[in-house]
Amino acid sequence: MKNSSYKSPIALAGLLALLLLFITFSACEKDDPVDVQQDFSAIITNIGNDVILNTYEGLADKAALLQAATEALEATPSMATLEAARQAWAAARAPWEQSEGFLFGPVDQEGLDPSIDSWPVNVTDLNNVLSSSNSLTVEFLKAQEGTLKGFHTIEFLLWGENGDKQVGAFTAREFEYMAACAGALAADAAELSHLWDPTGGNFIENVVKAGEGSPVYVSQKAALEEITSALIIIADEVGNGKINDPFSQEDLTLEESRFSANSKADFSNNIRSIRNVYTGYYGGNGDGNGISVIINEKDAALDTQVLAEIDAAILAIESIPGTFSDAVFNAKTDVSAAQQAVRALQETLESKVLPLISGL
């Protein structure tokens, strides 16, 4: 009778072959990379440096020019200096609206958004201040709450309730308030730019070093998710707030920038803010490394869709005839088309783009 532990030479050879195969397979598996993370540094750096920083620098520069223009209007009141101040307001408004696609970081943390852009204007309290004996300085205006300063208080003073204020209708006190208010706005814009700048508060480092020791973003994906979520937020605000509120209620007191008839420019610049971040360009700055690069690599058809919807939303807004105030009552089809175009973009960003970014 054979011993039960006995193995024939052929069986032993087979076992050895299987053992060698297992060892070889295991060694190969150890050499293969596991969960390799894609590096998005070029995209995050370009969005941070060439889009966000340059937008805020442009805002600071234009706000300083607005301050100078209101001071010139105060010193030499005329229709020419009034028109120059109005143009300076609109010029400063553009980079602010194009920054609303990334309202995170210092603009939120330091309360600069309400200081710069509170709406509506508190006309009752404004008139109380104008009739008071308070010294109207930049320091005084900086200490006031948001509805007594910022873009819209300056706008109200420059254009008046009906948008047709003449230079002879200004009081000396209004000129003084407006110049100080523009000074406070310029200070806020300069602070915001400084807080992001590498030589200042250096918040930009939290973005470009996401996942590499940044105390704000534990990973590059976390930074990309916040950037993408901010695009969704401004699309929602434009479609479901800025356009919808005055339109659905037929109430022009809910229309932002109505004194200057700048509402359509506000809306389209908000969507341009989305395009700037998505494409990785702001004006002549940027190298094209934006969210689009990631989406195109994962789903080229979706990237094409997003780009088309961005352009369609801008075109639909700009195609609204006349002023937005007039269109609310007399061009309802055009306003509705613009609103639906913005909402379509929001839906795509929310349901398709963000999930793809979150799945990186």
Token digits for 283? Answer: 């004006």
41-64 average pLDDT score:
98
Structure tokens at 31: 């050499």
pLDDT band at 254 (very low <50, low <70, confident <90, very high): very high
Q: For 241-299, where are the alpha helices, taking DSSP H only?
A: 244-249, 263-279, 291-298
At 268-277, the pLDDT tens digits run: 999 999 999 9
Distance, CA of 178 to CA of 186 (rounded, Å): 12
Domain range 41-197+211-358, CATH class: mainly alpha
- 319 phi/psi in degrees, rounded to 5: -85, -5
Domain ranges of the chain: 41-197+211-358
Position 198: which residue type? P
Place 23 in a pLDDT band, splitting at 50, 70 and 90. very low
Report pLDDT for 114: 97
As a whole number, mean pLDDT of residues 302-318 equals: 98
CA distance 151 to 139: 17
Q: What is the mean pLDDT of residues 76-88?
A: 98
> Above 70 in pLDDT, residue 85?
yes
* Position 3 pLDDT exceeds 50: no
pLDDT at res. 22 = 45
pLDDT at 35 over 50: no
Please tell me the distance from the alpha carbon of residue 139 to that of residue 137, in angstroms, as a whole number.
5
Give the pLDDT band (50/70/90) at residue 60. Answer: very high
CA 206 – CA 223 distance, rounded (Å) = 9
Residue 352 is predicted with a pLDDT of 98
Looking at residue 36, what is its pLDDT?
Answer: 54
Query: 20 or 330: whose pLDDT is higher?
Result: 330
Percentage of the residues of the chain whose pLDDT score is greater than 70: 90
Q: Find, among 152, 112, 116, 144, the residue nearest to 128 by Cα.
A: 144
Q: Residue type at 203?
A: F
Of the chain, the percentage scoring pLDDT greater than 90 comes to 89
Two tokens at 337?
């088309």
**pLDDT exceeds cutoff 70 at 7:** no
Digit-coded pLDDT (tens) for 168-211: 999 999 999 999 999 999 999 999 999 999 999 999 999 999 99
